[in-house]
Structure 1
């Protein structure tokens, strides 16, 4: 499995408020970013895997929706997560 529970807990501990805070927008964005990076690497090796490509596009859309929500609610939190995950140039 590509993501064991310890890694997942570490992602939520670093980006969420606590280890158990799996519902925060920052934690979910960080988890989606990790999954997007993993799937991107998989698609580089398996370019004909169209199901994974579709899953990747859906994940990017979910992350974009969460980022839009966060930008509307709190711009400072949005800027912090974008800078921390290096999502923009």
Structure 2
């Protein structure tokens, strides 16, 4: 899946510090969430696409590890991003 530069900038501008700051945990979590939602929609219509299913599971694991990192470093930032994106454990 290709994400255009404009969409990435919008995600990082909304959840990161700026549209060029791609290193914050919040920005990366938001980008992973966008990709996870896209792949989930793809798998609803293509249920035998096992390569996409594998990449979806890897993305969920990466997002989970970033969320765990953020939870251990700064609980208020963790709670804010979970509430903003509507995630649940």
Cα distance in 1 between the residues matched to 2:46 and 2:2: 16
- CA shift, 1:88, in A, is 2.1
Match in the other structure for 1:87: 87
- After superposition, the CA RMSD in angstroms is 1.2
User: Corresponding residue for 1:55?
Assistant: 55
Q: Please report the TM-score for the alignment, with normalisation by the length of structure 2.
A: 0.96
CA distance in 1, matches of 2:44, 2:65: 25
CA positional deviation for 1:2: 4.5
Runs of 4+ off more than 6 Å? none
TM-score (norm 1): 0.96
Task: List runs of 5+ in structure 1 lacking aligned partners.
Answer: none
Q: Deviations over 1:17-36 (max 9, x none)?
A: 01111010000000000000
